[in-house]
Structure 1
């Protein structure tokens, strides 16, 4: 017996409707992103700016809605066997890549394979795949060797690395090599010849894109209806420049204004300011576990025990404690798996002199710490300054390398020794959505060189992740999650630096954009 899930189309006419003539500026959405787009491959990096870019030009098999449930997107319908081992998927009719080629089942299979070799959730899925086949152009089947409960969550993963569908010839690229072509089937097309590195990125509406006709738009799910012919990203590293631009109606939407500018923007005429995501943003300090001194868990643990989340979050979001949470464990506060297990490791009293002694006893031998910091992201730069100060107060030598975020993203991929172009430590942040469970937490994977940047090796942590995947109910999942948190505080594969809430700003001349994932469909000029 098989369970069948078919999503019928509404039958609405697909013919384009006539539009009244408008000035070109009215048909262009002007946006200021968090930073410049330097990596185009959504498999090669987990940078959010690349995920935002990819949501525009690629499409997904399933889209995550605001209730955190995956809904069919490119998929028209699917069915699963009662034992959960065989899953068959049928694609919607008329899906077409930007080069005119139809989207086929074999494109989906190739994209899943490439993505799954680097993504933490994808790696678990591939470890349970017996085979994937495409019986015809509009279908593909996944046969598992053992059940995998979150299979639809994996196929609709939105947090970096999100699963996007590419042509088979492009998806055949080694996952450790960046792709050179940006051809998707999504609602926008990337205009490569108008890209100015460090300044501008341009997208045009894809006239061949056919949005779903059923359901309502909710985050990455539902119809992706485009109301602009063109979207222009303009990079403005200086917050003051961006604030003036949105007040003067030179831009329509600013992704991440710093919290200290929120009062000014709220007083501005025709500018709306709202919290970007109800789940907030949480920080992680990333150790490079391949090279001394952070190849030693004991050294990493001393740093964890000596840090102050309150210091990090005040630097990121300001002195108002309603804007941050300094009691943040492994999982996003307020999510089902969040707990107080072992929290004394990060909330207990601090003694810097004691920590300096413990650091030497743990094996720190005076190595210079190459610490990376982004000059063009105010919150992260503030967090990095606190991290640098902490290292110095602990008696560590710090080589502080400041660059734009795009350059940092490129350097963090290096596994070379720190004195040969590599690194020892950097801070980054994640949307709260990407900390709700072990399946979506890329940085929680601890399987050495197959792990995310930092490449920790903690076999117990990976075993506990597998235990979570096999847990039959929420109580069992919570038990596994509590053990995961205890292990993180003991082995310190990374630093949990706290949770804060940020804003997004947009002109009242456009409707409220989808800022939870920073999507560019559904928004229109009013």
Structure 2
């Protein structure tokens, strides 16, 4: 893979751990009861930054979904106890420090003092306890790693987490921004209904002033935000609201995003079609970015239907020419890399060759034989996909054709993304689905690998579960790598999911925008707009 502005493997040195609507009516979301005046003389003055975003988030409740749209759009608003730097190492955020007991079962966090929520209230340990308990109840990572944990407020500025078994990855998991363990007021959680929280109050540099479902989000600078002094690094370090207002417009039509960045209607346009890269390079006044390293995957439903049978899953893997799928999906090899591993090559602590012989090794006769062994008898195979993300839809078209060549009776069912996320929760109505993930620094943390996460696909593999548990408790990295190599070998034998490529997303900005960055998706703090 070649690189445009941000190197994929330069970003991936220890990768760690990829949409439910709100009311269509305009809402004031910040709940701000304080009378604090906005700071004067802040860089950016009263400027407004306009961003064209590609998808409607299924929810703005970060505890309730793994959707990238939610992750990216809540990042200016919410923060966790810890945050990842660009080496995927947890750093302090709302916690100023933490200690881990000698037996690895207790983590004690000391909170920063006098941190304000957007409603003017002061953060304390009770807010953290309520937030983490809710996150454990609702999130796949919380359930899979902290379901038996005890969370306690030791005093107003101290929180302890007691585990039943040691987990060397616990703090890293708390820093994971996907369906992240963000902190919100205890009162917000108490008022939440089955559909999620009713007001979006965090501690971040921007407060969510208005959310119009499916149309736009408006963020305002939070005057009482207390940035860290450490330099910005990934999601950690200093965050500043350098423009007064950020207006994010939901623009699902990619041609409209492309046209808007050319005319200057938008300051930033995200997730542009790769097909437009060469054209936009010839347009004056535009900066180009390739970032957000991502894994393209196809999930196989192991709870119901054809792919409960392992031989049928193996037949799918033997059917697929990953090179052809990746080329059809992404076009230019500047944007993708074909790699068998669940780690990238620069992840020397995790990269291994296990399963390589089964990846990108299309053998149609072998696939047909496995299909016969599975007892497959022409049953319809439903492949769920959305047109919203071209990397999903293009891959699905290529996969459909390759599976049909060996005898699968594949039917594409196309949904908008929000509906697809609802449909895939019912194992009786689908067999395959396409999705994408940020690459993981601890690749055993991919949620589709571990049955305790209860992620759609519903893997049930005791060996993989025991290997993941062993990685969490491994006394050395050498032993963790050995276990992970066994895990990856079993992954390619059991075939719960098929990886088709690693790729970079393409974004663009006007050339007067400085500081636009991305790590686990885009983020919009520390961005300036030159006149």
| Normalised-by-shorter TM-score class | 0.7 to 0.9
Cα–Cα, structure 1 residues 21 and 513, in superposed 2: closer, same or farther, change >3 Å? Answer: closer
The answer to whether structure 1 residue 255 and structure 2 residue 305 are counterparts is no
Give the Cα separation in 2 of the matches to 1:58 and 1:23.
Answer: 23
User: What residue in structure 2 maps to residue 76 of structure 1?
Assistant: 96
User: In structure 1, the residue corresponding to 2:296 is in which secondary structure?
Assistant: strand
User: What residue in structure 1 maps to residue 432 of structure 2?
Assistant: 425
Cα–Cα, structure 1 residues 172 and 288, in superposed 2: closer, same or farther, change >3 Å? Answer: farther
Give the Cα separation in 1 of the matches to 2:495 and 2:193.
Answer: 28
Kindly indicate whether the alpha-carbon contact (under 8 Å) linking 1:332 and 1:436 is maintained by their aligned counterparts in 2: no
Given candidates 311, 314, 338, the residue that maps to 2:324 is 311
User: What TM-score, normalized by structure 1, do the two folds share?
Assistant: 0.87
Given candidates 98, 108, 131, the residue that maps to 1:111 is 131
The answer to whether structure 1 residue 505 and structure 2 residue 508 are counterparts is yes
User: In structure 2, the residue corresponding to 1:501 is in which secondary structure?
Assistant: strand
Given candidates 135, 140, 150, the residue that maps to 2:159 is 140
Given candidates 378, 399, 419, the residue that maps to 1:407 is 419
Q: Residue by residue, what CA displacement relative to the aligned partner does 1:112-150 show, whole Å, maximum 9, x if unpaired?
A: 222234545434542563x32112222212233443222
User: What residue in structure 2 maps to residue 446 of structure 1?
Assistant: 451
Cα–Cα, structure 1 residues 228 and 363, in superposed 2: closer, same or farther, change >3 Å? Answer: farther
User: What residue in structure 2 maps to residue 468 of structure 1?
Assistant: 471
Cα–Cα, structure 1 residues 471 and 515, in superposed 2: closer, same or farther, change >3 Å? Answer: same
User: In structure 2, the residue corresponding to 1:489 is in which secondary structure?
Assistant: helix
Q: Please report how far the alpha carbon of residue 22 of structure 1 lies from its aligned counterpart in structure 2 after TM superposition.
A: 7.9
Given candidates 387, 398, 404, the residue that maps to 2:399 is 387
Q: Residue by residue, what CA displacement relative to the aligned partner does 1:37-64 show, whole Å, maximum 9, x if unpaired?
A: 2222222211111111221221111111
- Please list every run of 5 or more consecutive structure 2 residues that lacks an aligned counterpart in the other structure: 1-35
Cα–Cα, structure 1 residues 22 and 115, in superposed 2: closer, same or farther, change >3 Å? Answer: closer
User: What residue in structure 2 maps to residue 49 of structure 1?
Assistant: 69
Give the Cα separation in 2 of the matches to 1:21 and 1:522.
Answer: 10
Higher relative contact order (CA 8 A, sep 6+): 2
User: What residue in structure 1 maps to residue 258 of structure 2?
Assistant: 243
The answer to whether structure 1 residue 157 and structure 2 residue 168 are counterparts is no
Cα–Cα, structure 1 residues 16 and 42, in superposed 2: closer, same or farther, change >3 Å? Answer: closer
Q: Please report how far the alpha carbon of residue 23 of structure 1 lies from its aligned counterpart in structure 2 after TM superposition.
A: 8.7
Q: Please report how far the alpha carbon of residue 209 of structure 1 lies from its aligned counterpart in structure 2 after TM superposition.
A: 2.2
User: In structure 2, the residue corresponding to 1:52 is in which secondary structure?
Assistant: helix
Task: Report 1:305-344 matches (<5 A).
Answer: 305-318=318-331, 320-336=332-348, 337-344=350-357
Q: Please report how far the alpha carbon of residue 183 of structure 1 lies from its aligned counterpart in structure 2 after TM superposition.
A: 2.5
The answer to whether structure 1 residue 195 and structure 2 residue 217 are counterparts is no
Q: Residue by residue, what CA displacement relative to the aligned partner does 1:141-160 show, whole Å, maximum 9, x if unpaired?
A: 223344322232122112x2
Give the Cα separation in 1 of the matches to 2:191 and 2:326.
Answer: 40
For structure 1, which segment, 247-256 or 330-339, has the greater mean C-alpha deviation from structure 2 after superposition? 330-339
Given candidates 22, 40, 43, the residue that maps to 1:18 is 40
- Please list every run of 5 or more consecutive structure 1 residues that lacks an aligned counterpart in the other structure: 1-13
Give the Cα separation in 2 of the matches to 1:15 and 1:178.
Answer: 31
User: What residue in structure 2 maps to residue 285 of structure 1?
Assistant: 298
User: In structure 1, the residue corresponding to 2:518 is in which secondary structure?
Assistant: coil
Given candidates 481, 505, 525, the residue that maps to 1:521 is 525
Given candidates 202, 206, 227, the residue that maps to 1:211 is 227
Kindly indicate whether the alpha-carbon contact (under 8 Å) linking 2:137 and 2:147 is maintained by their aligned counterparts in 1: no
> For this pair of structures, how many residues does the alignment match?
493
Coordinate RMSD, CA, aligned: 2.5
Q: Please report how far the alpha carbon of residue 169 of structure 1 lies from its aligned counterpart in structure 2 after TM superposition.
A: 4.1
Q: Please report how far the alpha carbon of residue 206 of structure 1 lies from its aligned counterpart in structure 2 after TM superposition.
A: 2.4
For structure 1, which segment, 106-115 or 486-495, has the greater mean C-alpha deviation from structure 2 after superposition? 106-115
User: What residue in structure 1 maps to residue 236 of structure 2?
Assistant: 221
Give the Cα separation in 2 of the matches to 1:143 and 1:50.
Answer: 29
Give the Cα separation in 1 of the matches to 2:99 and 2:199.
Answer: 33
Cα–Cα, structure 1 residues 397 and 409, in superposed 2: closer, same or farther, change >3 Å? Answer: same
